[in-house]
Amino acid sequence: MARARDFSVTELPGATLVSMLVFVALYAPILVLIVYSFNAGESVAVWGGLSLDWYRAAWANDQVKEATWVSLKVATGAAVLSTALATMAALGTTRRPAFRGQTFVYVMINQPLMVPEIVTAVALLLVTAAIKKATGYTGLGYLIVAHAAFCIPFAYLPIRARLEGMDLTLETAAADLYASRWQTFRRVTLPLLMPGILAGAMLAFVTSLDDVVITEFIKSPGQDTLPTYMLGQLRRAMKPDVNAISTLLLALTLVLLSAFFLLTRKRK
């Protein structure tokens, strides 16, 4: 009896061509952006030669430095806070028997991924506006908490995946050797879970660093992050230094995502 062949999408007519067109549509604009970040001319559309002038201009711009510092502070704070909460949520949903309402809990944790970001931004705006009016505080804390709320599912998914792939034998053995729950967590579970925690923190950091919508709604005057600063510049005039800033931001994102991939890939 003839054995049925496995279906492969690559054998469909035109699959290679369609794949190439998709990749070109996705990455050609990014390549153009990178190339024009080295443009010596003042036009963003006319090539004027090879130069690093716009990188130097961006480095010498005090507003860019301030926006970068704000972005790093907000992204770091949001990554730490969201990763801590995501770790507790992952432990609470995986290190216990199945319970009624478990699916609902998963939905609530991952809600920011399913709801349009602008809806989340408006909801956070209503809450933070009321707190600002009641307390008079207008610092970066609002941005950090708002970003953390949005980043929790991005940190939760790799941490939960790491927990579900961990062998419970070592934790059971620690309990058999009279280790307390805290000792088991600190000496067994946490070291094994650390790659997932680091991957979740990096993913949350990148998500916060690139965010525009929530930042635009929540930030107070003088709290521009790098993406909102670039958006403001584009509204006024398209200058080539924006290409240089975008390329540097892209490079940082690629480095962090590469580290995320290395931490989460399966080892034999």
Q: How far is CA 237 from the centre of its chain?
A: 28
Domain boundaries, the chain: 13-51, 61-264
Confidence at 35, pLDDT banded by 50, 70, 90: confident
Q: Is the pLDDT of residue 150 over 80?
A: yes
Helix axes 241-264, 53-60, angle to 10 degrees: 90
Among candidates 258, 244, 250, 147, which has minimal Cα distance to 202? 258
Radius of gyration for the alpha carbons in the chain, expressed in angstroms and rounded: 23
Contact 249, 226 (CB under 8 A): yes
At 8, phi and psi to the nearest 5? -135, 130
pLDDT at 266 over 70: no
Whole-angstrom CA distances from 196 to 110, 125, 164, 201, 239 are 17, 31, 11, 9, 40
The identity of residue 228, as a single letter, is T
Average pLDDT over residues 167-173: 79
pLDDT at residue 4 in the model: 57
Specify whether the CB–CB gap between 76 and 252 falls below 8 A. no
Res 81 pLDDT > 80: yes
Q: Name the most confidently modeled range: 16-20, 44-48, 78-82.
A: 78-82
Residue pLDDT, tens place only, 64-76: 889 999 999 999 9
Could you give the CA distance from residue 223 to residue 143 in angstroms, rounded to a whole number? 9
- The Cα–Cα gap between 171 and 179 comes to 9
d(CA 201, CA 81): 9
Distance (Å) of CA 58 to CA 87, 145, 211: 38, 29, 20
Q: Which residues pair with 39 in a beta bridge?
A: 50
pLDDT at 221 over 90: no
How far apart CA 180 and CA 253 sit, in angstroms, is 40
Name the DSSP class of 194. H
Identify any residues that bridge with 50 across adjacent strands, giving them in sequence order: 39
**Topology (CATH level 3) of domain 61-264:** MetI-like fold (1.10.3720)
